[in-house]
Amino acid sequence: MISGAPVATRSAFDVEQVRADFPILGSMVGGRPLVYLDNAATSQKPRAVIDAIRHYYETENANIHRGVYRLSTQATDLYEGVRARARAFLNAADDREIVFVRGTTEALNLVAQTFGRQRVGRGDEVLVSAMEHHSNIVPWQMLCEAVGAQLRVIPMYHDGTLDVDAYRRQLAGPVKLVALVHVSNSLGTINPVRGMTAAAHALGIPVVVDGAQAVPHGPVDVRDLGADFYCISGHKMFGPTGIGVLYGRLDLLETMPPYQGGGDMIRSVTFEKTTYAPPPARFEAGTPNIAGVVGLGAAFDYLAGLDWEAVQAHEANLLAHATGRLGAMEGVTLYGTAADKAPVVSFTVSGVHAHDVGTIVDRDGVAIRTGHHCTQPVMEFFGVPATARASMALYNTREDVDALATALEGVREMFA
């Protein structure tokens, strides 16, 4: 279960009813029913999201904020209404703490190049974990190289959990900022963000959290977690691609310079001087992805209507089933066996390159991810060039897991 997550209420979870909400899940791949197990890369979209985007373009399309005509004000209300839904989903304190961005990657870069440049200087340290996605490594490396700081790494154990004791010792150094993934995309580990954030805050160190893999598995309470910044991507949580949210504490956002210039991020412009709008407009330069925001709002609405206790019980059952089936197979090695995990199973098949595994199981209609999953340091830690990864979502079933296991038996037989 995602820590700090409030639980919505609705009727009991029914996976078949949920599957009916996602049109693509009825597709055939090479004559076989689609078994989609690549949700950590991108999730599928419910009809409500697809319909919301289409309806916007068919009946409500206009640019926002500056138009005085009815269609523009209607589009503006739609856009800003989603900001309020994002605030509620994340339990932020104020709508102004919600900044729309292209996704988690842009959110992290925005924080690194604004807040990070204010906070980090020569001789300082930025602390990241050993399991970070490249998007939560590279922006901090760029910052450190630019200002003469050092990037330090929180070590992890071979079960895929972080060495929290080592982390607490590292905080005693010249650390000015911690950047931490909530849920690992390649291992599924759910990190103890609340406690790690509290430890950093006790020393006055702010914390940036990559929440891209957390929000598909339940609402997140950013105030309970204590995150100073929290970054999410719409396409991971059943919404559109090219849209996401940066949550930032308002008192911090108000001190930060703009990330980009132009459009609605200004208060006034002359050739002598430009003054900037307050947050969140200060960080939303140019015409935004309005349709993407509308679709994201539909995704928030969809998720808010779920019984999350039931969903999380279902996902825990899927993870246990997948771990049991794949872990019992001869020649299959699992990576990331933390007790507290999202439904992600990374594995290798002895004597078979991960890319070959993915290609072969696709013949049975099974879609999994193969490669380094934008976590090359994780692959190096485990001494493998790549893994295959099955990542499950609320619409997956035990039968999907069984289809993967059957397809993997075919892989083993082919390479026997």
The verdict on whether 144 is a catalytic residue reads no
230 three-class SS: strand
* Whole-angstrom distance, CA of residue 307 vs CA of residue 329: 34
Give me 41's structure tokens. Answer: 């890369």
* Whole-angstrom distance, CA of residue 416 vs CA of residue 405: 16
* Whole-angstrom distance, CA of residue 162 vs CA of residue 338: 10
DSSP state of 231: E
Can you tell me which residue has the tokens 């910044």?
229
Q: Which of 84, 142, 374, 384 is catalytic?
A: 374
Give me 409's structure tokens. Answer: 């038996």
Half-sphere exposure of 400 (CA within 13 A, CB side): 26
Q: Which uninterrupted H or E stretch holds 176?
A: strand 175-181
Question: Cα–Cα–Cα angle for 158, 162, 168, nearest 5°?
Answer: 140
If we measure between CA atoms, which residue out of 299, 218, 237, 307 comes closest to residue 2?
A: 218
Residue type for position 144: C
Q: Which uninterrupted H or E stretch holds 379?
A: helix 376-382
By DSSP bridging, strand 175-181 and strand 125-129 are parallel
* Whole-angstrom distance, CA of residue 18 vs CA of residue 14: 6
Active site residue ranges: 374
